[in-house]
Structure 1
Amino acid sequence: MVRTALFLSFLLSSLVAQAAPLRIGVSETLLSLPLYVAEAEGFFQKRGVNVEFVNCVGGNRCMKNMLDGQTDLATATELPVVFNSFSRNDFAILTSFVSVSNDLKVVARAEAKINEPGKLRNKTLGYVKGSASQYVLDLVLVYNGIDPDTVKLKAITPETALTALATKEVDALCIWEPFASRIELELGTDVQLVPIPKLYTETFNLIAMQSVIRNKPQELERVVQALRDSTRFIQTHPEQAKALAAKRLKIPVLVVDKIFDDYRFRLSLNRSLPRTMEGQARWALREGHVNVNLPQPNYTGFFYPAFLKTVDPGAVSLQ
């Protein structure tokens, strides 16, 4: 009996190794920890699916890579989904695997003396176009009664964020982790975090092309199973997960430990997500970030919950 089980395990591993891998665009962020854990702990292999990570900086780039045919799946917040939904509908969210309301930070130069959000007025502010950075910065300004037209907005990239502050190109910027913590580590007392209210709970999602959903349903279900395994592992082995995150993101474990409890790692597709996306779509139209003549999409068609319903029925509550 044991010999048979070992043979079947070997056979499955061989078949997985021979299959063309599913290419997943993985954003280099703590939000991607369930994928890192699934790879490191062998959960993909255990579930019988061959995957290949294609690293990218920011969910907006991961999404673009997928839409350009470079990957089969992408990891991103819901905002890149919203931006792209105005021009195409050949992709869908399979599951969210983490939610957080404090991943985006506003980091300011100490010399600018921006110790509270109201002092962002009349400043030069950096943001990453097409990402949650852009959305959160706008929310912070409006919530604090600051007309976005009264500030100077400057598009940056995650890679140039630190330099933009160090060379005084911007007075402050909105950026996600781990870039915010890296900036703090590198620039020390030359920068400070601006305390901002928790106005937005972002989700990080696994997104697939509709063609992949049609052609590789078994593989996608197994990926979702592996993510369920990894989110449970994170919940039961947080210290091991923190150590892995620190290693993958090249930041000290102390930094990961400081922000780790902000993140809720679990699979879900709940009714608040399409509502959030509808609000983001209205914002994008109102602010002219997309063609104002385009109709607002119906986001019910941008979800494919079948795999999650099979893997974890209680995690789906879209209705």
Structure 2
Amino acid sequence: MIFAALAGFSVWQHLRLPASTSLSPLTIAVSLTPLSAPIIVAKEQGLFKKHGIDMTLKPVHGGVKSFQALVAGEADLATTSETVAMFNSFEREDFNILTSFVESDNGVKLWSIHRAIGHSLPDALRSARVGVVASSASEYFFDSLLQLYDMPTETIEKVYYSPEALPSALLDNEVDAIAIWEPYGYQLVKRAHESVQALDSKGLHSLSFLLVSDRLVAKKQHQDMRRVIRALDEAVDVIHQRPEQAKAQVAAYLSMSDDKLGWLWQDYLFRLSLNDSLLLRLKNQARWAQRAGLVTGPTPSYRHLLNPGPLVEATQKVSLLE
């Protein structure tokens, strides 16, 4: 009993303090969205340094570009959605999913200006051009919407854009509607001179934002990954316990107004997790991508991609069935 207690204290001390006074340098590609709030708060609060990590944030637009920075060797870690992770899993297995750190069931919406999409979505989208971000939560959300309303895809033209280009595409009449995550919906509302509408689709698609790493880095620097997650766990505590301070730091980093951040913040659930609901969403999205002809090959083993070790050791917060 005494040995177990001493061993537990030793592990806690090991987590709490770096093994040496030098900091381990790491770079994380961070999507410029409030979904990245735990990363931003951990950096601004000095929590990475507290746990022995000299963290450099590499800002990018969207989870697709964040993942691209990871695989290009420009970052050791990245923030991305499970949809982006799913698409990449068909092409590579040299990355790990370490944890989910925020969830939202209203983060992606379908927006329109010229067509009333309220209760007559099929009529509104008949022969429409719809802007989406290829191989992302945007495309998955829109295809799920079509399936929900049993709408034939042959009558709708999907047009692919980068995330930051979608609001302008709608405002410039290049498309009739766009499927996009926040904060681009907010930007659209503020820029539009006409009334814009969003389909009430809360709960249709749950978006998780993930922390992913290079598999080799995660293996060689397991202790550093654990420290990174420990810092994020403390950042989530700050978000819950001192929300106004956390929001002020996120708004400053993103150069975002308080009104805009408040618009987005209400839809977020910040917590660290790695569980079977994530595995189920990955598998469901993989089946969608296969049916749509967007990927080839067998369904990847997502349990193989998930690396719960650092999360378990840092926080004991994991519910992953064997």
**With structure 1 as the length reference, what TM-score do the two structures score?**
0.91
In structure 2, the gaps of 5 or more residues are: 1-15
Residue 178 of structure 2 corresponds to residue 173 of structure 1: yes
In structure 2, C-alpha distance between the alignment counterparts of 1:147 and 1:140, rounded to whole Å: 11
| CA displacement at 1:226 relative to structure 2 | 0.4
User: Partner of 1:228: helix, strand, or coil?
Assistant: helix
In structure 1, C-alpha distance between the alignment counterparts of 2:202 and 2:59, rounded to whole Å: 31
In structure 2, C-alpha distance between the alignment counterparts of 1:13 and 1:30, rounded to whole Å: 33
Letter in 1 for 2:309: A
In structure 2, C-alpha distance between the alignment counterparts of 1:104 and 1:180, rounded to whole Å: 9
Contact 1:13 1:45 in 2 (8 A): no
User: Partner of 2:272: helix, strand, or coil?
Assistant: coil
| CA displacement at 1:229 relative to structure 2 | 0.4
RMSD: 1.9
Structure 1 residues 203 and 318 mapped into 2: Cα distance closer, same or farther (>3 Å)? farther
User: Partner of 2:294: helix, strand, or coil?
Assistant: coil
Q: Which residue of 2 aligns with 1:244?
A: 249
Q: How does 1:174-253 map to 2 (within 5 A)?
A: 174-253=179-258
**Higher mean C-alpha deviation, range 243-252 or range 153-162:** 243-252
Q: Which residue of 1 aligns with 2:33?
A: 29
In structure 2, C-alpha distance between the alignment counterparts of 1:302 and 1:30, rounded to whole Å: 26
In structure 1, the gaps of 5 or more residues are: 1-8
Report sequence identity in percent: 35
Residue 298 of structure 2 corresponds to residue 295 of structure 1: yes
Displaced runs of 4+ in structure 1, greater than 4 A? 11-14
Q: 2:109 aligns with which of 99, 105, 110?
A: 105
User: Partner of 1:247: helix, strand, or coil?
Assistant: helix
Q: 2:118 aligns with which of 112, 115, 119?
A: 115
User: Partner of 1:213: helix, strand, or coil?
Assistant: helix
In structure 2, C-alpha distance between the alignment counterparts of 1:39 and 1:314, rounded to whole Å: 22
Q: Which residue of 1 aligns with 2:312?
A: 309
Residue 59 of structure 2 corresponds to residue 55 of structure 1: yes
**With structure 2 as the length reference, what TM-score do the two structures score?**
0.90
Residue by residue over 1:20-41, the C-alpha shift from the partner in whole angstroms, topping out at 9 and shown as x without a partner, is: x211110111110000000111
Q: Which residue of 1 aligns with 2:272?
A: 267
Contact 1:309 1:316 in 2 (8 A): no
Contact 1:104 1:176 in 2 (8 A): yes
Residue 19 of structure 2 corresponds to residue 15 of structure 1: no
User: Partner of 2:230: helix, strand, or coil?
Assistant: helix
In structure 1, C-alpha distance between the alignment counterparts of 2:275 and 2:295, rounded to whole Å: 26
Q: 1:42 aligns with which of 36, 42, 46?
A: 46
Letter in 1 for 2:260: V
Residue 282 of structure 2 corresponds to residue 277 of structure 1: yes
